[in-house]
Amino acid sequence: MDHTKINLLVKLQHLDNQIESIVSLQKGLPEEIDALDEDLLFTTRQIESRKKIADDQLKQRSHLHEIINECKNKILNFKEKQTLARNNKEYDALSKQIEYEEKEIAQAEIQLQDIVHAVQRVEDIQKKGRQLIAENRYDEITEEMMPDDILHQQLEDLKKQLDQKREELESIVIETAEDVDSLNKKVEEQRALIEHEATRLLDKYDHLRSGTLRNAVVRLNRNACSGCNTRVPTNRHTMIVQGGFYLCESCGRIVVHERLFEEAEG
Ligand SMILES: [Zn+2]
């Protein structure tokens, strides 16, 4: 049996393991950053939609006040004309116009009241939210209960956390970039070599690593596959000790003697 081929593959696994351990220094930071990003987006949207409602209410209010002022001016005008009315018919016609404008004012005032009530309702809901927060009853707080100031504070906190995590990740990436680059180069060279010498072994290796599994080649540990802890049949031990490999019947990993990894490290 040609053992040099498996040695080449163990070396490849050793290099991939090194990259793996460097990447694990990132300690799930990329995932954490993604989650924070999502929270930030959600909070930003909440704040924006509240602002839009407030802006619309403000516009609507000033529009209604304008209408009321116009109506009042018209009424003044009509009243002045009434003093100059030449007969009852003219006077009554002006009265009707005044009446109409008064109705317009009343309608606008109802709409203004509606806005005031809507604002009051939001204030009451947020007050309830603040009370729940004070009592630590966070699970009972709905989206709209979150007080404006706390929502803004939340946004600031999220931004700070994100900046911190991004900086942390960036510094790790910068620190390790050189090592990762050089390891990637070595991996490429090693793969080219195996491609030439033992294509089928490389295919097996890549196939095993195509899912979430990273360690395709593992050590024999206490007479078992160290990937899944299934015992390796005794009649295969000799071959492994001699530097050959065994395909685990349970997980399919390539099991080799520990010595081969030591050699790959050296
Ligand atoms: Zn196994």
Compute the mean pLDDT over every residue in the chain, rounded to the nearest whole number: 94
What pLDDT score does 183 carry?
Answer: 96
pLDDT at 2: 59
Is the dihedral angle over the CA atoms 213, 12, 22, 240 positive or is it negative? Answer: positive
DSSP 3-state helix, strand, coil percentages of the chain (rounded to 5)? 80, 5, 15
Task: Report which residue type is found at 16.
Answer: D
The per-residue DSSP string of 140-182 comes to G--GGGS-HHHHHHHHHHHHHHHHHHHHHHHHHHHHHHHHHHH
Residue bearing tokens 């989650």: 35
In the structure, ligand 1 is a single-atom ion and the residues with CB under 5 Å from it are 225, 227-228, 230, 248, 250-251, 253
- Ligand 1 centroid from CA 132, angstroms: 53
- Over residues 77-106, the mean pLDDT reads 96
Give all strands of the β-sheet with 217-221 in edge-to-edge order.
224-225, 217-221, 254-256, 246-247
Could you report the per-residue pLDDT of 103-135, keeping only the tens digit for each?
999 999 999 999 999 999 999 999 999 999 999
pLDDT of residue 216 exceeding 70: yes
* pLDDT class of 136 with cuts at 50, 70, 90: very high
pLDDT of residue 113: 98
Would you call 176 exposed, middle or buried from its count of C-beta atoms within 10 A (0-12, 13-18, 19+)?
middle
pLDDT on residue 196: 86
Instruction: Give the mean model confidence (pLDDT) for residues 144-171.
Output: 96
Q: Tell how far the Cα of 217 is from the centroid of ligand 1, in angstroms.
A: 10
